[in-house]
């Protein structure tokens, strides 16, 4: 069973199976690998433990820097920016995500770019910047289709596009 059950059609936030998320956190225990710390940070964010999620996302970024792979570092920065978004630090999150979009685009990392665009779109959506959010979601969707991303990733982008189009149509400039 998936921990993410879908997306709220008014906020684009994940609907979460809290029991499953907490079980998975218990399973992770105190594992110290980058993947475990990354997953723990995401799960903590999903269950609303944002201070802990922030600490683990910073730890994941430090570990990614030690690993030395630039794509891992950029992905860690994106995940940390998502925690900032959930903390309400939208300006900081938007700045970090924009830097990540630029870096991914510069290096031709299409999957990382799509990931950053999807999340930057969600921050813009939170800021009620619907046309800009829609542009990011559409670009993320195109990239995800082009690189044959997972069905879940394409579906998330499709939902974000559809929801945001409805907001743009109901709030013309």
What is the mean predicted confidence (pLDDT) over 51-72?
Answer: 94
Percentage of the chain exceeding pLDDT 90? 89
- So what's the pLDDT on residue 173? 58
> Whole-number mean pLDDT of the chain?
95
**Cα dihedral sign, 24-150-144-110:** positive
- So what's the pLDDT on residue 169? 87
- So what's the pLDDT on residue 35? 92
Please state the pTM of the whole predicted model.
0.94
Which homologous superfamily is 4-9+16-170 in? Tetratricopeptide repeat domain (1.25.40.10)
What is the mean predicted confidence (pLDDT) over 44-68?
Answer: 95
- So what's the pLDDT on residue 68? 74
**Residue 173 to residue 73: CA distance in whole angstroms:** 37
- All structural domains of the chain with their residue ranges: 4-9+16-170
- So what's the pLDDT on residue 172? 66
Question: pLDDT per residue over 101-146, tens digit each?
Answer: 999 999 999 999 999 999 999 999 999 999 999 999 999 999 999 9
171 vs 59, more confident: 59
**Residue 144 to residue 139: CA distance in whole angstroms:** 9
Burial 20-41 (b: 16+ CB within 10 A, else e): bbeebbeeeeeeeebebbbbbb
Q: Assign 171 a pLDDT band (cuts: 50, 70, 90).
A: confident
Q: Assign 1 a pLDDT band (cuts: 50, 70, 90).
A: low
- So what's the pLDDT on residue 170? 83
CB 56 within 8 A of CB 37: yes
């Amino acid at each position: 069973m998936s921990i993410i059950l879908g997306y709220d059609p008014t906020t684009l936030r994940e609907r979460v199976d809290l029991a499953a998320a907490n079980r998975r956190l218990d399973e992770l225990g105190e594992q110290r690998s980058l993947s475990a710390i990354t997953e723990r940070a995401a799960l903590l964010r999903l269950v609303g433990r944002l201070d802990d999620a922030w600490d683990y996302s910073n730890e994941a970024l430090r570990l990614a820097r030690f690993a030395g792979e630039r794509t891992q570092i950029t992905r860690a920065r994106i995940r940390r920016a998502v925690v900032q978004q959930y903390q309400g630090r939208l300006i900081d999150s938007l700045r970090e995500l924009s830097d990540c979009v630029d870096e991914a685009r510069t290096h031709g990392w299409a999957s990382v770019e799509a990931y950053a665009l999807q999340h930057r779109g969600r921050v813009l959506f939170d800021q009620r910047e619907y046309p800009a959010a829609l542009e990011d979601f559409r670009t993320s969707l195109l990239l995800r289709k082009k690189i044959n991303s997972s069905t879940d990733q394409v579906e998330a982008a499709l939902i974000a596009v559809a929801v945001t189009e409805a907001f743009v149509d109901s709030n013309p400039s």
